[in-house]
Amino acid sequence: MTAKMLNDNIEYLCEQSDESENYSLNFVGKKYAKYLCETDAETKIIPDEAHNNLSENINSNNIYIKGDNLEAIKHLLKTHRGKIKCIYIDPPYNTGSENFAYNDNFKRKKNHLIVSYGQTSCNSAHSAWLAFMYPRLKLAKELLSPDGVMFISIDDNEVDNLKLLCNTEIFGEENFVNCIAVKMSEPTNLKMSHQWSRFPKLKEYILFYKNYGFKKFTCIDKYKEEKWDKENNIFLENMTLDKRQRLIEFQSKEFYTDIDVKEVNKIFHGVKRIRLIDKISELGLTGDDALKWMFENAYRIVKTVGAKAYVPIVKNLSKLPNQDIGALISKDNVLFFYITDFNTKAKDPRFRVIFADENIYKNPCDFWQDIKTSGAISDEGGIKYPNGKKPLKLLERIIKMTTEKNDVILDFFSGSATTAHAVMNINAKDNGHRQYIMVQLPEKIEPTSPDKRAYIKYLEKEGIEPVISDIGIERIKRSAKRIKEETQADIDYGFKIYSLDSNKINDI
């Protein structure tokens, strides 16, 4: 076939295409899912008067809704349309082991889909999940403020469908921001038992979408490296926090003159270089104590690196008296620090000085592997919630980076209420007034396996009903109490509880 014939064929086929070939995502139940977006809420909101009238809750702006989230979103649209800055959700991943809860009459079970639509068992599960998510995401987007953002946790089972759904039906591809990979587990023996048939799964994803007006983060949640970079091996005797602060101020200037160099050299006057290892042994520190001390003293610990472009500038200088470190300006007007007695004969001498406090803090990129997901997280909030609790740090990062002090944050698959806990923590840190709205089905935990029976026993001991909304509510109370004790911060520790009553129709 010639190139022309091929071109003609392609043109012909394009002309013959109809709407069914449009780039789109199709699934059984899509029409019904769209219909659900049009219908009104069918439940009545019942306030928990006894709880809401307690002194700690009566003036609170935080909200806990017990009920199906599609109903909750429909109610919230009447009060919060365009007002929510950040939505985080952690929906069921459709792993086959969890039941995602249809309280919206879409009770097509797998077998029904297989028989009625000739779907394979696998396709039907995807269709059912998409039909469940579609109206919730479509309507939740309407709650976002113009500069609002949505973060959705998900894993390999539905990440492709979710992204396509969000790109084609909910946000538009232009509002996709990131697919963040989050390291969620360690390569334990159990994980590694699959190592011969596939690479063991350690990560999940968070899809990050924005509304049209979102421009940038409110701040960057820099994190500290766990391990000490051994290249940071020089201790600066006589370097004080105040001196380091003044150096940082100089470093952030836009243009440098010789006067700046003189001033900076004055700061370095009397500062002595010694080996870090010697300083640590002088202090008698070992192990974790030494590590802790190094991180705390990073402002007076440095490493040296090569900087070929600066060699001609430093090589011909006469030595500065009583000074181990000096300052200079590069040809392109960069202020840099150097060790004054470096080996001038070396081919690529390491003379440029970098402070450890500049390189032990990292910017989070789209692979979050710094957040601890095992061990201590099971006790976060003073309550265990196996198989599903997200690390507090993960929510804190999202909230810190995307919200300001008066913003509203919504989580409509809230589980153990990690999001509410994170909002209180961030408020306590910056005296904020952020409000949270949590939605959670009053889903009963059934004793269907030994693990679940053990968990129910644990809940009994803690005096908590085996109902997920009760777990979330208790976590909020416990974490509020703890934050108050630990910080004494003057923030909103209370919350109002509302239930959605399906026997009473539509009357707020």
Ligand X SMILES: C[S@@+](CC[C@H](N)C(=O)[O-])C[C@H]1O[C@@H](n2cnc3c(N)ncnc32)[C@H](O)[C@@H]1O
Binding region for ligand X (CB under 6 A): 68-69, 90, 92, 100-101, 103, 385, 388-390, 413, 415-416, 418, 439-441, 443, 468
Question: Contacts for 334-339 with beta carbons within 8 Å, 24 or more apart?
Answer: 334/256, 335/250, 335/251, 335/253, 335/256, 335/260, 335/261, 335/264, 336/307, 336/310, 337/247, 337/264, 337/268, 338/310, 338/314, 339/273, 339/304
For β-strands 63-66 and 367-368, DSSP reports them as unpaired
The distance of closest approach from Cβ of residue 308 to ligand X in the complex, given in angstroms and rounded to an integer, is: 50
For ligand X, give the closer residue by CB, 314 or 392: 392
57 vs 421: CA distance, rounded Å = 16
- At its nearest, how many Å lie between ligand X and the CB of residue 164? 21
How many CB atoms lie under 10 A from the CB of residue 288? 8
CB of 137 to ligand X, least distance (A): 12
Which is nearer to ligand X, 167 or 414 (by Cβ)? Answer: 414
The minimum distance between CB 383 and ligand X, in angstroms, equals: 10
Structure tokens at 7: 């071109």
C-beta contacts of 285-290 below 8 A and 24+ residues apart: none
Both structure tokens of 389: 């609790």
CB of 128 to ligand X, least distance (A): 13
CB contact burial 469-492 (16+ within 10 A = b; e otherwise): bbbbbbbbbebbeebbeeeebebb
The Cα 338–Cα 314 span in angstroms is 8
| Closer by beta carbon to ligand X, 353 or else 500 | 500
CB count in 10 Å sphere of residue 213: 10
Task: Report CA torsion sign: 111, 112, 116, 117.
Answer: negative
Q: Which is nearer to ligand X, 141 or 243 (CB)?
A: 141
CB of 101 to ligand X, least distance (A): 4
- In the complex, minimum distance from the CB of residue 221 to ligand X, in angstroms, rounded to a whole number: 18
Report, in Å, the least distance between residue 161 CB and ligand X: 17
Which CB, 360 or 377, lies closer to ligand X?
Answer: 377
- Write down the least CB distance from residue 150 to ligand X, Å: 14
Please report how close the Cβ of residue 417 comes to ligand X at its closest, in angstroms.
Answer: 7
Smallest gap from Cβ 381 to ligand X, in A, equals 9
Nearer to ligand X, 161 or 304 (CB): 161
Whichever of 92 and 494 has its CB closer to ligand X, that residue is: 92
Nearer to ligand X, 210 or 390 (CB): 390
Give yes or no for a contact between 398 and 362, defined as CB atoms under 8 angstroms apart. no
Task: Please identify which residue in the block is written with the tokens 């974490």.
Answer: 479
CA gap 145, 410 in Å, rounded: 12
At residue 172, the 3 state secondary structure works out as: coil
Angle between helices 121-141 and 30-38 in degrees, nearest 10: 20
Judged by beta carbon, residue 210 or residue 421, the one nearer ligand X is 421
Nearer to ligand X, 211 or 418 (CB): 418
C-alpha distance from residue 187 to each of 150, 153, 156, 374, 394 (Å):
30, 21, 17, 11, 20
Q: What is the DSSP string of 80-107?
A: HTT-EEEEEE------SSS-----SS--
Closer residue to ligand X in complex, CB, 170/468: 468
Q: Which two tokens stand for residue 171?
A: 């946000």
Minimum separation from the CB atom of position 143 to ligand X (A):
15
What residue number has its CB nearest to ligand X?
415
| Dist CA 153 CA 151 (whole Å) | 7
Please give the sequence-ordered ranges of beta strands (E in DSSP) within 216-296, or none if there are none. Answer: 223-224, 234-237, 272-275
Q: Give the span between the Cα atoms of 390 and 291, in whole angstroms.
A: 28
> Residue 299 or residue 385: which is nearer to ligand X going by CB?
385
CA nearest neighbour of 313 among 325, 339, 331: 331
